[in-house]
Amino acid sequence: MTPPQSPTMRALVFDGAAKVVDIPRPIPAPDELLIRVRRAGVCSTDLEITRGYMRFHGVLGHEFVGDVVEGPPEWKGRRVASEINCVCGRCDMCAGGLANHCRDRTVIGILGRPGAFAEYVAVPRQNCHQVPDAVDDEAAVFIEPLAAAFQITRQVNIESRYRVAVLGTGRLGLLVAMVLKRTGCRLVAIGRNPGTIALLDRKHIATTNVDDADGVGRHDVVIDCTGSPDGLPLALRLVRPRGVIVMKTTCQASQPLNLAPLVIDEVSLIGSRCGPFPDAIAALARRDIDPAPLITARLPLSRGDDALRTAAQRDQIKVLIDPTT
């Protein structure tokens, strides 16, 4: 007698190369929900993983929205987005209210846990936030990266009199600029991509080409969203003495970096990662932030490898993956 086959699902797996394969459907642990993924978004982190970042092998993807299909009755059928850090709840960081820095964490699709470029994903119940009807699936995919943008406003009090520069007008830089625009600060987005700069122009956000960036030593706050080793040296040039640099870029410096200006100008350098989901959900529900113009391509999960290649192209912003077709 053959043992019963566990159900399989389609997933985009990275194991040195990204490919769409059939793998067993995840079995949720007692504290987890099984989610049928409705839409997922390709993030720069996914592309970095395919270049070796975090040495992650497994199902990619961490920006997603889906329906709870297994879990407690009060959760079943709910449409949810999930925070990506899965935490122990016992370590000193968790006990101190810094669970995103849990010393024993796994991270969906990034560290020790399968991701959401799949038909199904299992995630801890405590990570899940119900998505209100006012936020459609395509907008809900932006909850996770938008929360990361809101994290800046939790870390730095952006005053309306502040001169603020966002470096980089890619996927995250655009969301950061849209969030900071709401503070009423004197904002400029500095980039080199004519397409994304035009998008910011339409949102009435001031822009400058990186080659024309002025205001050296004049910016109260500079946010590095370049994803490039060139970002921090430029931020150090633009920030004023006693100013603040917020780093969203995770790439490695390609050459030695002169940090003397950091000391001489007494600059504060702040790393910034994941952020508050409720802030992002509320902004999307109120239509304060409309991410729809950032979507440049939609591909079925069966073409997941194509989706990654597409997202790496210069004229693309957010590429969505649809596991339902």
Closer residue to Zn ion (CB): 80 or 94: 94
Closer residue to Zn ion (CB): 124 or 227: 124
CA-closest candidate to residue 237, choices 216, 251, 257: 216
Closer residue to Zn ion (CB): 91 or 185: 91
Smallest distance from the beta carbon of 99 to Zn ion, in angstroms?
6
Smallest distance from the beta carbon of 106 to Zn ion, in angstroms?
11
Closer residue to Zn ion (CB): 127 or 226: 127
What's the order of all strands across the beta sheet hosting 58-59?
A: 18-24, 8-14, 58-59
Residues 194-253, interacting with Zn ion (CB under 5 A):
none
What is the rounded end-to-end Cα distance, in angstroms, of the chain?
35
CA-closest candidate to residue 165, choices 105, 86, 218: 218
Alpha-helical segments (H) within 51-186: 92-95, 137-140, 143-155, 171-181
Residues 29-68, interacting with Zn ion (CB under 5 A):
none
Smallest distance from the beta carbon of 274 to Zn ion, in angstroms?
14
Residue 208 CA to residue 157 CA, distance in Å, equals 24
Pairing of strands 32-41, 63-70: antiparallel
Closer residue to Zn ion (CB): 47 or 99: 99
Residue 165 CA to residue 221 CA, distance in Å, equals 7
Q: Which residue, chain included where needed, has tokens 């693309």?
A: 316
Closer residue to Zn ion (CB): 90 or 192: 90
Comparing every residue's Cβ against Zn ion, the nearest one is: 102
Q: Between 68 and 107, how does the x/- string for binding to Zn ion read (CB under 5 A)?
A: -------------------xx--x--x-------x-----
Smallest distance from the beta carbon of 278 to Zn ion, in angstroms?
21
Using DSSP, state whether 279 is helix, strand or coil.
helix
Q: Between 284 and 313, how does the x/- string for binding to Zn ion read (CB under 5 A)?
A: ------------------------------
Smallest distance from the beta carbon of 85 to Zn ion, in angstroms?
9
Q: Following CA atoms 89, 153, 176, 50 in sequence, which dihedral angle do they give, to the nearest 10 degrees? A: -20
Write out the residues near Zn ion by the rule CB under 5 A. Answer: 87-88, 91, 94, 102
